[in-house]
Amino acid sequence: MKPKHPHPGGTHRGNVQETTCHRRMRIIPGVMLIIFLAASQATPNEPDIPVSSAEILADALAHSLVLKSSDQDIAAARARMLQARSQFLPSLNLNARAGHYTGLEDAAFGPDIIIPTVDNQYAASATLSQPLFTGGRIVKQSQSAEYQANAAAHSRLSAEADLRLQALTTYWTWSKTFHGIKTLRSAVARMEAHAADMHNLYQAGLATDNDTLSTDVLLDQTRLQLETAQRRNQLARAQIAFLVGYSLPGNAVPESAPEPLRTGIAPEDEALATAKTNRTEYKALQLELNAAQAQVSASRANYFPSLYALARYEQANPNLLDFPPQDQWNDDAYIGVTLNWNILDWGLTRGKVSETVARAAQARLRLAQEDERITLEVRQARIDLLDSISRLTVTERAEQSALRNLQSATDLWHNGLLRHSELLDAHTKLTETQHARLTARTDVILAQTFVNYALGRLKDEPQANVAQR
């Protein structure tokens, strides 16, 4: 039967000192072995390739199919604007016809006057039309198309802001998992060294089976955390590949989270006013509302008459305006005005007006809904940023405390004054606080990015806290 570990409160000081000496003698080779293995694994075959957030952001913007589709929306909206504006200008229509008629008979006017038929008839004309009055229909249609084109441009900016947020969030999530792996690897190496020491003590009869088992369990749990972090790192890399259109090399390394700004967050009222001014999706919906209101006026213009000026020149063989028609080319010219007023259309115009009024009301509701959504996003972003800053401050102090606690616990355990379970708790606490501090630091950067997005000020430098006053 193996002897038990001396009780911390025992009186065998000489045995305790001898045991401590033997422990330290056994710890040194184990620690040296772990350090050598960690150093050999930390030396990669290829040098690391640093990848910055600006590179990922630029590549994501260049690759985005959403932005390319938005570019086509802008092109289509501008084309519709040109179509609407062209209605202000005169239109020129060319018309030509040729035909052969059969079954025609000569016309007789008395016994001596015969008008022969012309079986082959040809004509060509050019008609110039200029609108003079349409009740404001053309003006409002042109205004609506211009609003829509501007709205499409702002929608593109909104899509770009969404992509910036997605790219930066994905990048810093990758940074958090990647550098978290380093922390967990250090924790695994520390636990492996301690586990090796515990097995040596167990073989020497200086540790219980329960002590070694609990050490192995904690080592397995730390390794599981490392494996989970590695899988999350692979997922983050896959998400980046989706955004930029290519897979990152295996030795790509993200930036560490920079030191975040912790003060100077703008008051809520000021932040809300800034967001309403800068958010491009809000501007896009305002422009869409203006376009819908212009369409209402354009549809109501159909209640009024339309007046056009016309000018036409025609060459025909025979020219039917001549009498009697002759089998020869003759020309004619015409200039005048035409008035068109649809008095009865059985509710067609009224239905179109009702539809445009409903569309305008719908656009107004979308704008109000966007106003509420932006307000919520700004408030949430500010609260998340304040929480993440407070959490970072606490985790930094907690890490320092956990490191000192582990050092103290290790000394006490070596001197037989602390239970082994308490030492394992100290190891666990240090691992948790180190990972929490790294996570909290990156979370501050992510929270600042969300604040910048909510305020409509998301730029290429995501670490800058533009929410400052």
DSSP labels, 125-177: EEEEEEEEE-TTHHHHHHHHHHHHHHHHHHHHHHHHHHHHHHHHHHHHHHHHH
**Cα–Cα distances in Å, from 343 out to 295, 305, 347, 355, 362?**
21, 9, 10, 20, 30
CA angle 273, 276, 279 (to 5 degrees): 135
In DSSP terms, 317 is beta-bridged to: 122
Long-range contacts of 49-53 (CB under 8 A, 24+ apart): 49/249, 49/251, 49/252, 49/253, 50/253, 50/254, 50/255, 51/248, 51/252, 51/253, 51/254, 51/255, 52/255, 53/167, 53/168, 53/171, 53/172, 53/254, 53/255, 53/462
pLDDT value for 402: 84
CA–CA distances in Å: residue 416 to residues 27, 186, 190: 16, 26, 20
Calculate the alpha carbon distances from 457 to 171, 438, 447, 451, 460 in Å: 19, 26, 14, 8, 10
Residue 456: both structure tokens together: 């409509």
Task: Give me the tens of pLDDT residue by residue for the chain, a chain 469 residues long.
Answer: 333 444 333 333 344 334 434 444 344 444 443 343 343 344 446 788 999 999 999 999 999 999 999 999 999 999 999 999 998 999 999 999 998 888 777 777 767 777 777 788 889 999 999 999 988 889 999 999 999 999 999 999 999 999 999 999 999 999 988 988 888 888 888 888 888 888 888 898 888 888 889 889 988 998 998 999 999 999 999 999 999 999 999 899 998 887 776 666 778 889 899 998 999 999 999 999 999 999 999 999 999 999 999 999 999 888 888 777 788 888 889 899 999 998 888 989 899 999 999 999 999 999 999 999 999 999 999 999 888 888 888 888 888 888 888 888 888 878 877 777 787 788 788 878 877 777 888 888 898 899 999 999 886 444 433 333 3
* 48 three-state secondary structure: coil
**Residue 215 structure tokens:** 């050490």
Domains observed in the chain: 14-41+49-87+150-303+348-454 (1.20.1600.10), 90-100+113-133+306-340 (2.20.200)
